[in-house]
């Protein structure tokens, strides 16, 4: 299960002066392989290859790029069970979820790029000239471990479709699925240099990409701290920066909602992927009059979660990805207790049946106030903060009292009432009554959740520059 080579200019090569790091299965803490970490010199080689490939790839026809994307889709579908298994092994996501969600939503991004590319107008005539959209150039991509294939595909697919070339740095914690995706792109016949993969850590490879003078755009999905660092490094060369960063999303249950049903759905949404989601509804806002009912419903929902071996199809929640992530979540659970929140379910420590692995007890706190750490910090684990409000205005104020603004959630049988609340939430997305995660609509945040948008048409256009051809006619 090793990932000891990087992919540059159509070839698998050894990194320059490679350091190695163990790949750990988070379910049992055993080493399953090794990953070789690249260097700034490797980034230089990859960027040079992408720059050489840009002139030819950027001038390919729509039909040529569509054909390449369709070959990637075919290769992805053929290897989907393997891709799901790799993600389960490297990051602990249950195999059923890995197959039905993690792998399939990644595939969707390539299908969506095809859909947009088929009809996209790269030129539009105006009375005094033409507005032309052109590929931005060489793109640096930095992706995380929590939805590894999904986040890679959401950047690679539109970049390929628009005619850009790229250098990808996946998370060194989850490199196996990244290598498999690179193999699929290679087998699809994408020309050498168009796509390049350099595994490595953020301070070395990530920073080399962000600061590289020959990189025209950098797209990062990660923590707010990582996004800030990338933006500062990119500033010297004034490159475009697209960021999808952290979240602390509020889930507002309006008084007319089916409280038991809405609470149960909110608990399960918070615990999806072991809570390792940037837009998880981790703050549940409940009318104060419904406090006791909501607490009882939350306990009942937690009892239905099945922790265990991620390879077991019956498991619904696996471990966290790493020891450091486990330690961070444990510290935040302890802070909730210390600061006086009411522990409704879960709590510190591993589940009783877990002798190994980075398993965390799915946890719910009630009576959480906006000043507590668990209400303000992105926990990135299965921890829900239940907060109570007395008026809809107070609910909106609590929802917006955060440095983040990635998503929001509103529950009510009255769409007009819910829409008024949704319009007031300062976030890039607001979901109504458990609507599914649509990847054709824009995804991105307000405030410290980042800038720019991914998915669908909006994500496609992130990789395009705008040129005005003045005095020309169509």
Positions marked active-site = 244, 278
For residue 247, give the nearest of 216, 287, 277 by alpha carbon: 277
Alpha-carbon distance 76 to 456, whole Å? Answer: 19
Distance of CA 38 to the CA centre of its chain: 23
Alpha-carbon distance 217 to 169, whole Å? Answer: 14
Contacts of 318 (CB under 8 A, 6+ apart): 26, 27, 88, 92, 93, 94, 274, 307, 308, 310, 359
Q: How far apart are the first and last CA of the chain?
A: 54
For residue 277, give the nearest of 400, 150, 154 by alpha carbon: 150
Q: At what angle do helices 259-271 and 291-303 cross, to 10 degrees?
A: 50
Hey, what are 416's tokens? 């007009």
Please list the residues that pair with 387 across neighbouring strands.
285
In terms of Cβ atoms closer than 10 Å to its own Cβ (0-12, 13-18, 19+), residue 307 is buried
């Amino acid at each position: 299960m090793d990932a000891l080579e990087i992919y540059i200019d159509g070839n698998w090569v050894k990194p320059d002066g490679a350091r190695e790091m163990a790949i750990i299965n988070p379910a049992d803490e055993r080493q399953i392989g090794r990953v070789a970490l690249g260097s700034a010199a490797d980034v230089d080689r990859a960027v040079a290859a992408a720059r050489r490939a840009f002139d030819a790839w950027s001038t390919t026809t729509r039909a040529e790029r569509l054909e390449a994307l369709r070959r990637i889709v075919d290769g992805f579908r053929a290897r989907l069970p393997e891709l799901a298994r790799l993600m389960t092994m490297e990051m602990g996501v249950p195999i059923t979820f890995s197959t039905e969600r993690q792998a399939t939503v990644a595939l969707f991004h390539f299908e969506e790029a095809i859909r947009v590319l088929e009809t996209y107008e790269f030129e539009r005539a105006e009375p005094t000239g033409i507005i032309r959209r052109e590929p931005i150039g060489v793109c640096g991509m930095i992706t995380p471990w929590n939805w590894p294939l999904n986040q890679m595909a959401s950047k690679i697919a539109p970049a390929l479709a628009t005619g850009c070339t790229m250098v990808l740095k996946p998370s060194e914690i989850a490199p196996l699925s990244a290598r498999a995706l690179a193999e699929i792109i290679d087998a699809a016949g994408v020309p050498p240099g168009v796509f390049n993969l350099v595994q490595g850590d953020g301070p070395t490879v990530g920073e080399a990409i962000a600061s590289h003078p020959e990189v025209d755009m950098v797209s990062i999905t990660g923590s707010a701290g990582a996004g800030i660092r990338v933006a500062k490094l990119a500033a010297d060369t004034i490159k475009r920066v697209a960021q999808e960063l952290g979240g602390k999303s509020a889930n507002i249950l309006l008084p007319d909602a089916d409280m038991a049903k809405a609470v149960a759905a909110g608990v399960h949404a918070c615990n999806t992927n072991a809570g390792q989601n940037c837009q998880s509804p981790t703050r549940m806002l409940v009318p104060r009059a419904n406090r006791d009912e909501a607490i009882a419903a939350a306990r009942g929902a937690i009892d239905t979660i099945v922790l265990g071996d991620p390879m077991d199809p019956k498991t619904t929640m696996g471990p966290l990805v790493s020891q450091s992530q486990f330690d961070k979540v444990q510290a935040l659970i302890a802070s909730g207790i210390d600061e006086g929140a009411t522990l409704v379910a879960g709590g510190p420590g591993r589940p009783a049946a877990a002798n190994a692995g980075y398993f965390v007890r799915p946890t719910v706190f009630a009576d959480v106030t906006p000043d507590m750490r668990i209400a303000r910090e992105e926990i990135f684990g299965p921890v829900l903060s239940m907060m109570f409000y007395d008026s809809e205005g107070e609910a909106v104020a609590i929802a917006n009292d955060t440095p983040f603004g990635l998503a929001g959630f509103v529950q009510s049988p009255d769409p007009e009432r819910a829409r008024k609340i949704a319009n007031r939430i300062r976030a890039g997305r607001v979901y109504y009554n458990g609507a599914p995660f649509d990847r054709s609509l824009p995804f991105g945040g307000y405030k410290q959740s980042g800038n720019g948008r991914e998915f669908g048409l909006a994500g496609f256009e992130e990789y395009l520059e705008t040129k005005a051809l003045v005095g020309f006619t169509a």
